[in-house]
Amino acid sequence: MLQVSVLKEQTDRVLAGLAKKNYPNAEAEVQHILELDQRRKHLQTEHDQSQAEANKLAQQIGGLMKSGDKAGADELKARTATLKTHTKAAADELAQVEKDLQSALYLLPNLPHESVPQGRSADDNEVVREVGEQPTLPEGALPHWDLIKKYDIIDFELGNKITGAGFPVYKGQGARLQRALINFFLDEALAAGYTEIQPPILINEASGYGTGQLPDKEGQMYHATADDLYLIPTAEVPITNLYRDEVIAADRLPIRNTGYTPCFRREAGSWGAHVRGLNRLHQFDKVEIVEIDLPERSYATLERMLDHIEGVLQKLELPYRVLRLCGGDMGFTSALTYDLEVWSAAQGRWLEVSSCSNFETYQANRLKLRYKDQNGKNQLLHTLNGSALALPRIVAALLENNQTAEGIRLPQVLHRYCGFEQIG
């Protein structure tokens, strides 16, 4: 959530940033927020003055009663009653204005970092680098949705029978490959200095607002309405919320956590090869890395996180590329996002497998996540997260890129995790 002080003191920068994110009606909404804040301040002053005058009159009434001046005391009591009515009305309006102000602030996206390129869609994203050679497949090579049937390792029909579309069942070597990848990703994160967290996969409303899934992505999350809880779209949400309403000692920073969770998203529903098979699911597994750091270090931290994710892809022997997302393709809460995509040889296209983002103070302001600076003053921290990695499209690329006449060859790094060297 953007700070009102930033909207007020850096209005031109705010409007330019919202324009880069192609946010409509930015000027009117910023002006509305500033007017609400001005009204809030006026009401707060009015309320405080009325309260102070009522307190003063109460003291005077006590003195008059002691001196026996009942008429004078009654007159002041009448004035006090009028003040109390006025104070309550001001307090009620103040509460409503504060609520309206908070709601309006929730609707503004984060401002993009200066390095974010202009653009409206994925076509305008900037390719930072491309690593690895794209494999040449044998004649008759299959896409992963045919390979999983050939080797009977993932069953979409069974998942549809049990739950519905987008909930696959992993079987035999497919299930073992899932477990192997999760353990490999976690071990890589632990070796890089992250602390493993096993968080709940249901969150309350406060957690959803804390990291920005609410109100922006409310329709994309599964909602357990009886208990007003949400199934998590990513481990970022519960892990970052561990630190909601905290003041972190500077010597504890950076905080570096990792966690595996299943993830749940209602977004599947479009048609075509780009969402076929494992390309888009309602439920999938992912290992996440989350960091909290000082503002002056956060972009160096983002690059370190990106290096870690690239290192994992290199060990998997997958050709990949790194994209810097343009303003129009960025997430609501992000200030800068790198997407990492692996090459899918059988599909002949790039598949996104990770996003690595710096949210600067946007989430921290919602979370009230702060540290004390050298002057003892509370300041907002920066939060960051990255997928390291999401499994479905990694599995799709591994199956497609490594298929041979004898079976699907797995990269060396996975042999000890899987207990086998190839599928089939």
Which segments are annotated as binding site for L-serine?
A: 234, 265, 288, 385
- Given the structure tokens 């401002």, which residue do they identify? 111
97: enclosing H helix or E strand: helix 70-106
Q: How far apart are CA 204 and CA 208, in angstroms?
A: 7
Instruction: Calculate ∠ Cα 257-263-269, nearest 5°.
Output: 145
The 10 Å Cβ neighbour count of residue 201 is 16
> Which two structure tokens, joined as six digits, stand for 241?
């919320």
261 beta partners: 286
Q: How far apart are CA 132 and CA 123, in angstroms?
A: 22
Which segments are annotated as binding site?
A: 234, 265-267, 288, 352-355, 385
The 10 Å Cβ neighbour count of residue 380 is 18
Coil, strand or helix at 217: coil
Q: How far apart are CA 282 and CA 219, in angstroms?
A: 13
- Given the structure tokens 């630190």, which residue do they identify? 243
Going by C-alpha positions, the residue among 149, 150, 145, 175 that lies closest to residue 405 is 150
Going by C-alpha positions, the residue among 137, 135, 134, 153 that lies closest to residue 145 is 153
Sign of the C-alpha dihedral computed for residues 206, 201, 233 and 243 taken in this order: positive
* DSSP strands (E only) in 254-362: 255-264, 283-293, 320-324, 336-344, 349-358
Going by C-alpha positions, the residue among 192, 187, 181 that lies closest to residue 301 is 192
- C-alpha dihedral (223, 229, 235, 240), degrees to nearest 10: 130
Which segments are annotated as binding site for ATP?
A: 265-267, 352-355
